[in-house]
Structure 1
Amino acid sequence: MSQNNTIAWSKDYFLKSSDFKADSNPATFEDSHSTIKYSYIWIVNSEGFGNEIKFFIKNIVLTTEFYPMLSWIRQTQDPTLLLNHEQGHFDLAELLKSKITRHIEDAFFGKKFSTRGQNSEQQKQYARESSGLMIANEIEKWEKYLFDERQEYDSQTNYGQIHEKQQKFDDMFKKLRM
């Protein structure tokens, strides 16, 4: 686990019961919940155009992260099924990551953006800040897509209870680990 209490997706790591650190919510139907998001790094470059600095964004890299402190699992008779299903949520996010990365990069490809600041150093500083906010806004849109896909996964598998459907997803997710 990293310093900021997240677990980055890895083909060699599988979620364990002890990774789910939040208290379960007695008001919900589900027996488990996992919080999964994308963190990101990127490169922002700038060019001078007269007295103005314009910036552009490239090399956006997403990391699929699981948040233990916001995730919970009820201790049931067989937590193996729940853990497998929640691992599926993590794997699904990783599976969608390349598609989401492409779409986010396409939103910025070939575009140059103006920035504020009274001198080139301030403009460069604000370019970094502005580019981060712009990427965060794009990530937010795509996390909605991830949320919808996760709901579809839950619906198709009935939260892992329809074993044949869950197995089809499991087989698809195994390809991530090859």
Structure 2
Amino acid sequence: MGEKTTLEWTSNFALSWSDFQAESNPAVFEDSHSVIKYRFTWVVDSEIVDRNVVFLINDISLFVEFHPLLSWVRQSDANESLLNHEQGNFDLAELVKRENMVHLQEQFYKKHFSTRGQNDEQRKQFAKEDSGKMINEQVEKLQNLFNERSQKYQNDTNYGKNFEEQSKYDLIFKQLHT
């Protein structure tokens, strides 16, 4: 049975040290490192408006994924408080997603986008391709926002070593799991 290449965030899932499968990097300051990314799915429909084929984007879903094969921990430093801190990073990605999902959908829902192509089949193919690029551009912005917030989280909590600051974040993240 193969190893999972990603773990999707859910309210009843918690990371364990066995999820950190990459080799640790002795040259860096961090005791652990999580790779967390967003993945999306969507539906694209087309219709004819003023004799032109246009496409519409519907049902955008966004998923927060942890990448075990790229995430690591220095085994000598693996403890419960550090694991809690890494879970917090995963939770932070979900929080950023929730805070921005409506804005992401508003950029695309109930709007018509022109398409290209010589025939219906080409237009459908280009609509799927172009809509994917458009959404991906916005998801990359969301990823950058998460990366910024994650760096602030690392700094505020001193990578989980500032227990007072970590506990403030823990209270925020606990709301995601209820």
Q: Structure 1-normalised TM-score?
A: 0.93
CA distance in structure 1 between the aligned counterparts of 2:25 and 2:110, rounded to whole angstroms: 46
Equivalent in the alignment of 2:88: 88
Residues 155-174 of structure 1 deviation map (CA, whole Å, 9 limit, x = unaligned): 11000001011011111111
Q: Structure 2-normalised TM-score?
A: 0.93
The list of structure 1 runs, each at least 4 consecutive aligned residues, that deviate by more than 4 angstroms after superposition, is none
For the Cα contact (< 8 Å) 2:31–2:77, is it kept in 1? no
Residues 134-178 of structure 1 deviation map (CA, whole Å, 9 limit, x = unaligned): 111111111100000000101110000010110111111111111
Q: Which moved more, 1:136-145 or 1:73-82?
A: 73-82
> Identity percentage over the alignment?
48
CA distance in structure 2 between the aligned counterparts of 1:50 and 1:124, rounded to whole angstroms: 18
Equivalent in the alignment of 1:11: 11
CA distance in structure 2 between the aligned counterparts of 1:10 and 1:85, rounded to whole angstroms: 17
Shift of the 165–102 alpha-carbon distance from structure 1 to 2, 3 Å rule, reads same
SS of 2:125's partner is helix
Equivalent in the alignment of 2:27: 27
> Displacement of 1:58 after TM fit?
2.1
For structure 1, which runs of at least 5 residues remain unmatched after alignment? none
Equivalent in the alignment of 2:53: 53
1:98-113 alignment, distance < 5 Å: 98-113=98-113
CA distance in structure 2 between the aligned counterparts of 1:105 and 1:78, rounded to whole angstroms: 39
For structure 2, which runs of at least 5 residues remain unmatched after alignment? none
CA RMSD of aligned residues (A): 1.7
SS of 2:160's partner is coil
CA distance in structure 1 between the aligned counterparts of 2:54 and 2:78, rounded to whole angstroms: 56
Equivalent in the alignment of 1:158: 158
Equivalent in the alignment of 1:43: 43
> Displacement of 1:5 after TM fit?
1.0
CA distance in structure 1 between the aligned counterparts of 2:99 and 2:57, rounded to whole angstroms: 18
Shift of the 77–126 alpha-carbon distance from structure 1 to 2, 3 Å rule, reads closer
Equivalent residue letter for 2:170: D
Equivalent residue letter for 2:174: K
